Amino acid sequence: MIEVNIVKTQMPYTINRTDFKIGNKYSGKVRDVYDLNDTLLIVTTDRISAFDRILCEIPFKGEILNNLSLFWFENTKDIIPNHIIRKVSENAVLVKKCSILPIEIIIRGYLTGGGWREYSKTGEISGLKLPKGLKKDSKFDKPILTPTTKAQEGHDLPISVDEIIKQGIIQPDLMKKIEETAIKLFERGQEIVKKNNLILVDTKYEFGLLDDGTLIVADEMHTSDSSRFWFLDSYQSLFDQAKEQKMLDKEYLRQYLLSVGYQGDGEKPEIPFDIKVGVLERYVLAYELITGNRYILKNYDAIDALSSSVNELMRTH
């Protein structure tokens, strides 16, 4: 259990938005990205969203996600280079600039979630025909690639590898390399989390190309935001009983919002402190279970620490 006083003390120091005068800035739901010409500064804030709305800040959330991605980039750099140049602060990294490929690379080890819904209707996922009669949460013989488009508006749509190549979105040789690399990354992830009684069920990757054509992996990797995790020791029993799998809980905040009648429309509700504590507990638990390492929460002025680190970066960059 998290000490509530640590969370209370940290509340004034949550990182909501940043406004460094250091280059063009782009803000997503969670990250602020600064274009420094030849590199990017990525700040993972404490913002949290649900139903496509930014709702509040959760103390320590940004640093946990940042450090979790760094753990994975370090543990997969023998498979493919990544965009990390160096860690700037607990919440920020300096990364290589690359051209992000316009396809969402999703790898699935099990038939569940959106993949199960698509299979139930069509018998396939992203144009990949699957055997008939598969049950929900079935394990595939080997991981599969199920790409989607990256929609500017609305939802991403499934797209087959053949269609990606036919439309000239990605060339065949590069697409083959992406698929092989993504499956290697996924299998490495499965291998590591299995030691901690977890199954990496499915995940998404962002791939990009450097100016010299080198393929790299970017954004985040195998975090509780970008991936689905189940508990290994209960998988087979729950599958045999056709029950829902026990998972690392990403739905806690969404369930609270539904309980107060909010689904993204109208005025967003105030998130109570005890719900924020509950969300943080789940992020800490996810980090510890995924990495096998303890995550120690310490009170500090995260805003000042980030500002000082960015100022130091700009003096030497």
pLDDT digits (tens, 9 = 90+) for 226-236: 899 999 999 99
H or E element, residue 54: strand 53-57
DSSP conformation letters of 18-49: ---SSSEEEE-SSEEEEE-SSEEEEEE-SEEE
What's the full length of the chain, in residues?
317
User: Residue 301's pLDDT is what?
Assistant: 98
Mean pLDDT of 10-24: 96
Q: Does the pLDDT at position 101 exceed 70?
A: yes
At 154, is the pLDDT very low, low, confident or very high (cuts 50, 70, 90)?
Answer: low
What is the pTM for the complete model shown? 0.92
User: Residue 267's pLDDT is what?
Assistant: 93
- The two tokens of residue 309 are 């680190």
Mean pLDDT of 23-48: 95
Mean pLDDT of 259-286: 94
Instruction: Name, in order, each residue with C-beta under 8 angstroms of 57's C-beta and a sequence gap of 6 or more.
Output: 14, 15, 16, 45, 46, 47, 48
- The two tokens of residue 266 are 């109208």
Q: Does the pLDDT at position 150 exceed 70?
A: yes
In 215-272, alpha helices (H): 232-240, 252-259
User: Residue 152's pLDDT is what?
Assistant: 67
Type of residue found at 82: N
d(CA 256, CA 175) in angstroms, rounded, equals: 41
Q: Does the pLDDT at position 153 exceed 80?
A: no
Q: Write down the mean pLDDT value for the chain.
A: 94
Q: Who has greater pLDDT, 229 or 52?
A: 229
User: Residue 185's pLDDT is what?
Assistant: 98
At 250, is the pLDDT very low, low, confident or very high (cuts 50, 70, 90)?
Answer: low
Domains of the chain (ranges plus CATH)? 99-240 (3.30.470.20)
Instruction: Name, in order, each residue with C-beta under 8 angstroms of 170's C-beta and a sequence gap of 6 or more.
Output: 101, 103, 164, 178
At 251, is the pLDDT very low, low, confident or very high (cuts 50, 70, 90)?
Answer: confident
CB atoms within 10 A of CB 293: 12
Instruction: Name, in order, each residue with C-beta under 8 angstroms of 181's C-beta and a sequence gap of 6 or more.
Output: 79, 80, 207, 215, 217
At 1, is the pLDDT very low, low, confident or very high (cuts 50, 70, 90)?
Answer: confident
At 43, is the pLDDT very low, low, confident or very high (cuts 50, 70, 90)?
Answer: very high
User: Residue 222's pLDDT is what?
Assistant: 95
User: Residue 157's pLDDT is what?
Assistant: 85
Query: Which is nearest to 36 in space by CA: 100, 101, 97?
Result: 97
Q: What is the pLDDT of residues 65-90, one digit of tens each?
A: 999 999 999 999 999 999 999 999 99
CB atoms within 10 A of CB 64: 24
Q: What is the pLDDT of residues 104-139, one digit of tens each?
A: 999 999 999 999 999 999 999 999 999 999 999 999
